[in-house]
A and B are shown apart, each in its own frame.
Chain A
Amino acid sequence: MLNNTVYINGISVIAPGMEDSNKSLEILKGNMDWHPEALSKMTPSSLPANEARRTTIVIRLALKAIDSIDYKNDTLAVFASSEGDLDITDKICKSLSTKEKMVSPTLFHNSVHNTPAGYFSIATGIQTASVSLSAGDNTFSAGLIEALTQVLIEKNDVLLVAYDNVIPSNLECFRHFEYPVGIALLLSADKHLDTIGSIEGSVINNQKSVTQCFNKSLEKMRIGNPIGMGLPLIEALVKGASVEIVIPYVNQNQLSIKVNNV
């Protein structure tokens, strides 16, 4: 199992009512209740205007989550999203249900699961590898385990960004997310002066209770989007707590994360 310590050197959460970093920090520390507000347009600073024009909410959600993180130009990247860009699926499927079936080329090339990863590498010029993954409702834990193995095996910093937007109205009756959520973590084998905390992850059989948010007002975000499952870990790191966080993982397993203040 993964028994090596990995350091967290950057954290970011993007969600309705959490775009202001100071306010977000107070909510994550438990000093303030969370109240959802409409998300802004989320223009990521990393994208040139001509590229930004072609982006969708999902692409901007992922890139905005990374925006405030100070990563190196050889970082590996893990993009984790349960559903990818269903706004695009909705638009393409609408076109495909017409007689003409005219699919927009821009929509199509933005439709792949790794589109945000593509824009990230174009915006930053980073040519190291990224991976884009999904594991249904366990996508946050799957992304975190992938990031941990990359740090330990490839011996490189890894930027993890996990994100899912709400479901478009046509498809909402089949799958429902309460809020859009984006979470980014910078993981490293090295401890820095500004290291936020350390984690040790291990996969366990389903036997412990899943950790809830310490700030009870965040519970509806934790259970309202697969990426929300990462919030208790973010809270523990921000508070500098030394605790074990348990998150559901694939096949009824769990990811146990021992968080340590460093």
Chain B
Amino acid sequence: MNKTIDSLQVTASTLVNALGNGKRFTLDAMFDGSSGLRNSSYPEMNFNTFLGLVDKVEDVELEDHLAKFSCRNNKLAKLALDVDNFRDEVDRAVNKYGKNRIGVFIGTSTSGIAETENAYIGRDKNTGKLLNIDMLYTNNTGSVQRYVCRSLGLTGVGMVISTACSSSAKVFASAHRYITAGLCDAVIVGGVDSLCLTTLYGFNSLQLISQDICRPWDKNRQGINIGEAAGFMLLEKSNNNNCIHLTGYGESSDAHHISSPHPEGVGGKIAIEKALVSSGIKPSDVDYINLHGTATLSNDYSESKGLSSAFNPEIMCSSTKGMTGHTLGAAGINEAIICTLALENSIIPANINLRTIDDNLPIRVPTKCIKQSLNHVMSNSFGFGGSNCSLIFSC
């Protein structure tokens, strides 16, 4: 089959999540199967669960001239921009292409809403007046894209995509189109989603939060642990065959239910098939799939159904959400970077926390990491509203 899109080279990346600040902590966990999830507390949270918190986000100080962007989400973004040598790589790209020729496409679900929550919690008891906030720079869904542009000194095209848990997977598709259309020569794609009461209490109201550590693909899985993460990748037109490339993307809608996936995984399957077509590979060419694998009853069932109709049952899959938690709008980039680490280091990460196999899930997952050379890996992300995206990375 011929590929229908050109590959984009992954030149640099950076990742901050509950495992640590920098990709090497996530890579360590991929080898040793450790988890960043802790039975921890969060201000104003009064129920019990495990969380994938990033250490000391609240202590981060933004650049003086960008202080008005100050909120947990943009602080988390800065943590990621500051590690993994990412700023140096961006500077190199700026020298090569110019600051106005690098697009910035970021996914987030809740942006800086934690600031707004605090404004209500701290409101004046007598007048009802909220604490002062700069909504356009914190709460606004587009805030993090503007913060990243200004922090990196970039002046090109871009936007925020906010499609719940597929947000920072879909940025790859849009960014690819902008490069193909000639609107930019390189792109920074990424995702940033930070802990907030809205998602903690919201998912709790839907009875989708596990009190226990989350157990994707387990027969007794009870739901998600919410995590936070920020990650970015620099993608350029390909000129080096020895690098890892984004080789495929596919997007679809479930058209089924606003907060439940299609039970047979039909929407997910459409996204997977489109990704395969765009990269010109067959299902049997895929060496590993990083699952959406949230550990809710419905997601894991629906996803396994969709996968089993697209792949043969021996396909190698795992969910890494037992390590990082479900990082929601940052899940796409978190797991895209895990896929590139898998390719670089020839490792399939374990599906940790799995104790009891669920016979209703037709796809099996390894509970120990597997060292094996990989050519093509896929990452799946499915969001509320039935928004699905599947990505393929190759080396």
Tell me the A residues contacting B by CB distance below 8 Å. 1-2, 81-84, 89, 92-97, 101-105, 108-115, 117-119, 121-122, 124-139, 142, 145-146, 148-150, 152-154, 170-171, 173-175, 203, 205, 249-253
Contacts and interface: CB of A to CB of B under 8 A. Distances in A.
A94 B146 CA distance: 28
Contact of B182 (A1, A126, A131): A1
A105 B384 CA distance: 13
B163 A132 contact: yes
Contacts of B201: 92, 95-96, 101, 103, 108
Nearest to A249: B157
A119 B259 CA distance: 11
Interface in B287-340: none
B253 A139 contact: no
Given A133-B161, A174-B135, A252 B252 contact: no
> Which label, helix, strand, loop or mixed, suits the secondary structure of the B interface?
mixed
B141 A134 contact: yes
Contacts of A125: 255
B272 interface: no
Given A149-B174, A250-B146, A251-B149, A135 B159 contact: yes
A154 B174 contact: no
B253 A130 contact: yes
B90 interface: no
Given A109-B259, A114-B163, A174-B133, A127 B267 contact: yes
Interface string B376-391: 0000000111110000
Contact of A136 (B142, B173, B174, B197): B142
Interface stretch (B11-19, B117-125, B364-372): B117-125
B270 interface: yes
Interface of B: 44, 46, 100, 109, 113, 116-117, 119-121, 123, 128, 130, 132-136, 139-143, 145-146, 149, 154-164, 170, 173-174, 177-178, 180-183, 197-198, 201-206, 251-259, 266-267, 270, 383-387
In the A-B complex, the 6 residue pairs with the closest CB atoms: A118-B385, A108-B202, A113-B162, A129-B251, A134-B141, A109-B259
A84 B113 CA distance: 12
Nearest to A142: B159
19 contacts: A1-B183, A84-B162, A97-B117, A97-B120, A103-B198, A104-B205, A108-B201, A114-B163, A114-B384, A129-B251, A135-B158, A150-B177, A171-B116, A171-B135, A175-B140, A250-B145, A250-B157, A251-B100, A251-B149
Contacts of B203: 108
A128 B386 CA distance: 11
A90 to B, nearest CB: 8
A97 B180 CA distance: 47
B163 A117 contact: yes
A112 B162 contact: yes
A114 to B, nearest CB: 4
A150 B176 CA distance: 11
A134 B134 contact: no
Contacts of A122: 255-258, 386
B183 A171 contact: no
Contacts of B128: 170
A108 B205 contact: yes
A208 B146 CA distance: 22
Contacts of A253: 100, 155-157
A136 B202 contact: no
B142 A82 contact: yes
Given A83-B140, A112-B164, A146 B181 contact: no
Given A126-B253, A128-B253, A150-B177, A82 B385 contact: no
Given A136-B140, A251-B149, A96 B198 contact: yes
Contacts of A126: 253, 255
Contacts of A95: 201
Contact of B258 (A103, A109, A203): A109
Contact of A103 (B149, B205, B255): B205
A136 B384 contact: no
A93 B117 contact: yes
A205 B100 CA distance: 9
Nearest to A130: B253
Contacts of B162: 84, 112-114, 132-134
B170 A131 contact: yes
A154 B180 CA distance: 11
A118 B386 contact: yes
A113 B163 contact: yes
Contacts of A138: 142
A81 B156 CA distance: 20
Contacts of A129: 173, 251-253
Which residue, A81, A130, A250, A252, has most C-beta atoms of chain B within 10 A? A250
Given A112-B164, A203-B157, A252-B155, A117 B123 contact: no
Contact of A109 (B119, B123, B154, B206): B206
Given A131-B163, A171-B130, A110 B136 contact: no
B198 A127 contact: no
B88 to A, nearest CB: 22
A109 B387 CA distance: 13
Given A93-B117, A133-B162, A136-B142, A251 B155 contact: yes
A135 B205 contact: no
Contacts of B155: 251-253
Contacts of B157: 145, 203, 249-251, 253
Contacts of A139: 142
Given A131-B251, A132-B162, A153-B177, 17 more contacts: A82-B140, A82-B141, A92-B198, A93-B116, A93-B117, A96-B121, A96-B201, A97-B120, A103-B202, A103-B205, A115-B385, A122-B258, A129-B251, A135-B159, A250-B145, A251-B149, A251-B155
